Amino acid sequence: MNREKNKPHAAEFPGFRPTHILLHYDEIALKGKNRIGFEKCLSASVKRALRGAGPLAVHRAYGRHIVELDESADREVCSRRLRRIFGLAAFTPVVRLPCDLDALESYLDSLLEGASPRSFAIACRRANKSLPFTSVDVNRRLGARVEALTGWPVRIGRPDLTIHVHLIDEHAYIGLERIQGPGGLPAGSTGRVVCLLSGGIDSPVAAHHVLRRGASAIFVHFHSAPHTSEASLEKVRELIRRILPHGHRARLYLVPFAGTQHRIIARCPAPLRVVLYRRFMLRAAEAIARREGALATVTGESLGQVASQTLENLGAIDRAAQLPVLRPLIGLHKAHIVDEARRIGTFDISIEPHDDCCSYLMPSQPATRSTPEQLDAAEQPLDVASEVETLLAEAAVETVDGGD
pLDDT in tens, 9-66: 556 788 899 999 999 988 887 787 888 889 889 999 999 999 888 767 888 877 789 9
**More confident of the two residues 337 and 13:** 337
* Residue 5 covered by a domain: no
User: What pLDDT sits at residue 10?
Assistant: 56
Kindly report the length of the chain.
404
**Claim to verify: residue 171 and residue 203 sit in the same structural domain:** no
Number of domains in the chain: 2
Q: Which CATH number is 215's domain given?
A: 3.40.50.620
Same domain for 212 and 142? no
The answer to whether residues 383 and 355 belong to one domain is yes
Identify whether residues 305 and 397 lie together within a single domain.
yes
pLDDT(3) > 50: no
For the stretch 290-299, pLDDT in tens is: 999 999 999 9
Say if residue 240 is in the same domain as residue 388: yes
* Same domain flag for 374 and 257: yes
Residue at which a domain ends, from 180, 210, 233: 180
Among 128, 146, 180, where does a domain finish? 180
Query: Do the domain assignments include residue 128?
Result: yes
Say how far apart CA 151 and CA 137 lie, in whole Å.
20
Which of 135, 156, 180 is the last residue in one of the domains?
180
The verdict on residue 187 lying in a domain is no
What pLDDT does 81 receive? 93
Which comes out higher in pLDDT, residue 392 or 73? Answer: 392
Residue 7, pLDDT score: 62
Give residue 251's pLDDT. 98
Computed over every residue of the chain, the mean pLDDT equals 91
Quote the domain boundaries for residue 381.
192-401
Residue 186 lies in a domain: no
pLDDT at 224: 86
Going by C-alpha positions, the residue among 316, 326, 313 that lies closest to residue 285 is: 326
248: in domain? yes
Question: How are beta strands 55-61 and 64-69 bridged, if at all?
Answer: antiparallel
Mean pLDDT of 252-272: 95
Same-domain pairing of 257 and 145: no
Residue 42 lies in a domain: yes
Q: Are residues 170 and 277 in the same domain?
A: no
pLDDT of 2 higher than 50: no
Q: What is the CATH number of the domain that holds 136?
A: 3.30.2130.30
Per-residue pLDDT, averaged over 361-382, amounts to 90
Question: 168 and 243, same structural domain?
Answer: no
CB atoms within 10 A of CB 155: 15
Is there a domain that residue 1 lies in? no
Instruction: For residue 123, give the nearest of 155, 162, 158 by alpha carbon.
Output: 162
For residue 356, the model assigns a pLDDT of 61
In a shared domain, residues 259 and 116: no
Q: Nearest 5°: phi and psi at 25?
A: -130, 160
- How many whole angstroms separate alpha carbon 28 and alpha carbon 342? 27
Residue 136 belongs to a domain = yes
pLDDT in tens, 56-107: 788 887 778 999 998 888 888 999 999 999 999 999 999 999 999 999 999 9
Asked whether the predicted pLDDT for residue 129 surpasses 90, the reply is no
pLDDT range class, residue 345, cuts 50, 70, 90:
very high
d(CA 100, CA 77): 31
Q: Which tens digit of pLDDT belongs to each residue from 217-239?
A: 999 999 988 777 788 899 999 99
Confidence (pTM): 0.89
DSSP state of 74: -
Considering Cα of 246, then 208, then 235, then 281, what sign does the dihedral take?
A: positive
In DSSP terms, 55 is beta-bridged to 69
Q: Give yes or no: residues 174 and 199 share one domain.
A: no
Shared domain for 176 and 211, answered yes or no, is no
